[in-house]
Structure 1
Amino acid sequence: VALTVLGAGFANQTEVKAEGVSVGSDASLHNRITDLEEEREKLLNKLDKVEEEHKKDHEQLEKKSEDVERHYLRQLDQEHKEQQERQKNLEELERQSKREIDKRYQEQLQKQQQLETEKLISEASRKSLSRDLEL
C-alpha cells in the first residue's frame, strides 16, 4: 500500500511539474512569438527603408542617364550644325573660286582675242606697207 501511495505521489508530482513546464513553455513561446513579431516588424521597416533608398537611387540614376543623353544629343546637334556651317562655307568658297576662275578665263580669252585682233591688224598693216613700198 505504501508503494502505491508513494507511486501515486510521484505520479502527481510529475504531472504538476509537467503542467508547470507546460505553463512556462506557453509563456516562453508567447514571449518568443512576441519577440519574433517585433523583430519581423523591425525587419519590414528596414526593408521599406532599403526599398525607399533603392527607389531614390534608381530615380537619381535615371535622371542622370537622361541628363547624359540630353547632353549627348545637344553635343551631336551642335556638331551637326558646325558640320553644316563648314559645308556651307566650303560650298561658298567653291562658288567663289569657280567665279574667279571663270573671270580669269574670260579675261585671258579677251586678251587672246585682243592679241589676235592686234596681230591681224598688224599683219594687215605690214602687208599694206609692203605693197605700198613695192609700188
Structure 2
Amino acid sequence: MSHFTYIKTRFQNLSYLEKALSKLNITYKQQSSDYQELQKNLLITQSNGYNIEFCWNGHEYELVTDLSFWNQSYPIQSFIDKVAQNYANETVIGESQKIGFQVTNSIKSIDGSQTLVLERWNSNLY
C-alpha cells in the first residue's frame, strides 16, 4: 500500500522550477494538473516505478512522493534543499533581469553556496 507524502514548498514559478531541476540534471516531464488545466505538474520518473511529482495546489508546487520508495542518489531533505537553492538562484536571476540587471559573475563556494554579482547600467545619469 502506498503512503504518499505531500511536502509543502515555496516553489510558485514553473519556469524557475524547471530550470532548477535542469541545473541538477534531473529529468522531468510536464503533465496537466488536475487542479487547473492551464497549470502543469512536473513528473520525475524513478526506475522503481514510484514517481516523484511537483503538483500545483493552487498556490505552490507540493512535492508528492511515497517516501518508502524514494530512489534518488541523496536523501529527500538534501533533494529538497538542492532544488530550493537552485530555484532561489533562478528566481533572483530571472526577476533581476526583468528590471534590467545582468549577471556579471557567479561564484560557487566550497560549502555549496553561490554568490551572484549583478549590475545594471543607467544611461540617464546626465
Does TM, normalized by the shorter one, top 0.5?
no
TM-score (norm 1): 0.22
Which protein shows a greater Rg?
A: 1
Flag the structure with more relative contact order, 1 or 2, with Cα contacts below 8 A and sequence separation at least 6.
2
TM-score, length-normalised on structure 2? Answer: 0.23
Q: Report which of the two has the higher share of strand.
A: 2
- Between Structure 1 and Structure 2, the one with more helix by share is 1
